[in-house]
């Protein structure tokens, strides 16, 4: 019976990969590996499918060490074991090396409120920087159908049209430094948990110690309630997100590059540089919130059009970090 579940689960992922042309033969792919259930199952299943169906991919594990004692140090130990168990080379990049700050140090300075903003913005760049070091063609992440449905709902609730328009895409960032893909876009979290459990995969299941993230938590509970009444609610929400039409009069951010570090940005400075400037000047609230940016001379930019979505903070666990 379990064998049938494994076969169906793996075949569904294989079909999603084929139908959406997620990978090309010869590509180098980094799997964003946090040590949690989703990315552990992704690493395991991708290496199985790569062998079984001759995808011809060079797979790597890429981990970001945010510097959270008692959480990420433990989960990284899991990823190091996965490296040996699955025979996939592992690269770890850390906030301390990239930005000069660990999340422990940031939380000491700013407290528990808004710390997910720093973590989300820094992680997004850190994954790109790690991917560049590995010279990979794409990054695959373990975001599942439940994560994506939550994000659709959150983007609607926040009125974040720019993110709403791209959060359901199975491949994003084709025009950015390194594209990302989500092979589990249509896979329910409970299937992943069952797969990891029955296969006895080695994963880390503790929640981040700094991340209560109440807003996402409510969205998650709401979707779970809906699912009880209508089992396909998650897929319906994803479909609704996909089918949204953005009005042609909606002003979308224009992508350029950060004047300071060269990373993609729709403002003069990317969000990470704004946040870092705040931290280094002892003004950590500088980049928090919607329309708070800095000019290249380091002064606050208050003149931005309030209708223009900023590169606002990403909450932990949200789709684009
Ligand atoms: N520190 C990290 N290093 C590398 N990749 C990460 C890291 N954190 C998150 N990711 C990637 O982003 C995906 C979604 O992250 P999220 O924080 O939502 O974790 P999650 O839903 O608990 O997933 P997982 O079970 O894999 O931790 C992960 O599956 C993984 O691919």
Residues 2-26, mean pLDDT to the nearest whole number: 97
Q: Is the CB of 130 under 6 A from ligand 1?
A: no
Ligand 1 pocket test, pick from 32, 187, 190 with the greatest ligand atom count within 8 Å of Cβ, gives: 32
Which of the residue ranges 16-25, 102-111, 124-133, 243-252 would you say has the lowest mean pLDDT? 243-252
Q: Where in the chain is the domain with CATH 3.40.50.620?
A: 2-198
Alpha carbon distance 214, 197 (integer Å): 27
pLDDT at 297: 46
In this structure, the residue with its CA closest to atom 19 of ligand 1 is: 317
Ligand 1 pocket test, pick from 34, 138, 220 with the greatest ligand atom count within 8 Å of Cβ, gives: 34
Please give the ipTM for the structure prediction. Answer: 0.96
Q: If pLDDT is split at 50, 70 and 90, which confidence band does 320 have? A: low
Domain 2-198: top CATH class: alpha beta
Task: Report whether pLDDT(300) > 50.
Answer: no
């Amino acid at each position: 019976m379990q064998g049938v579940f494994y076969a169906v689960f793996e075949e569904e992922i294989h079909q999603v990969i084929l139908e959406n042309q997620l990978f090309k033969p010869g590509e180098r792919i980094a799997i964003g590996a946090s040590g949690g259930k989703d990315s552990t199952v992704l690493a395991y299943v991708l290496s199985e499918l790569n062998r079984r169906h001759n995808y011809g991919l060079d797979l790597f594990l890429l981990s970001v060490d945010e510097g959270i004692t008692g959480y990420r140090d433990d989960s990284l130990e899991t990823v190091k074991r996965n490296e040996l168990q699955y025979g996939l080379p592992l690269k770890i990049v850390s906030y301390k090396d990239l930005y000069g700050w660990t999340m422990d140090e940031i939380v000491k300075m700013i407290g528990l409120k808004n710390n997910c903003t720093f973590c989300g913005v820094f992680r997004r760049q850190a994954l790109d920087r790690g991917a560049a070091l590995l010279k990979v063609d794409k990054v695959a992440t373990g975001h599942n159908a439940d994560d994506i449905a939550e994000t659709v709902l959150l983007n609607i609730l926040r009125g974040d049209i720019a993110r709403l328009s791209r959060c359901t895409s199975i491949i994003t960032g084709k025009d950015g430094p390194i594209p990302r893909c989500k092979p589990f876009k249509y896979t329910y979290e409970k299937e992943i948990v069952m797969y990891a459990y029955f296969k006895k995969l080695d994963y880390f299941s503790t929640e981040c110690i700094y991340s209560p993230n109440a807003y996402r938590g409510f969205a998650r509970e709401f979707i779970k309630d809906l699912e009880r009444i209508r089992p396909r609610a998650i897929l319906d929400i994803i479909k609704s997100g996909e089918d949204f039409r953005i009005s042609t009069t909606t002003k979308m951010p224009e992508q350029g590059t950060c004047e300071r570090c060269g990373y993609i940005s729709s403002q003069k400075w990317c969000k990470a540089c704004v946040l870092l400037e705040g931290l280094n000047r002892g003004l950590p609230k500088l980049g928090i919130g919607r329309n708070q940016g800095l000019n290249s001379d380091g002064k606050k930019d208050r003149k931005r059009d309030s209708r223009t979505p900023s590169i606002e903070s990403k909450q932990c666990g949200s789709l684009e970090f």
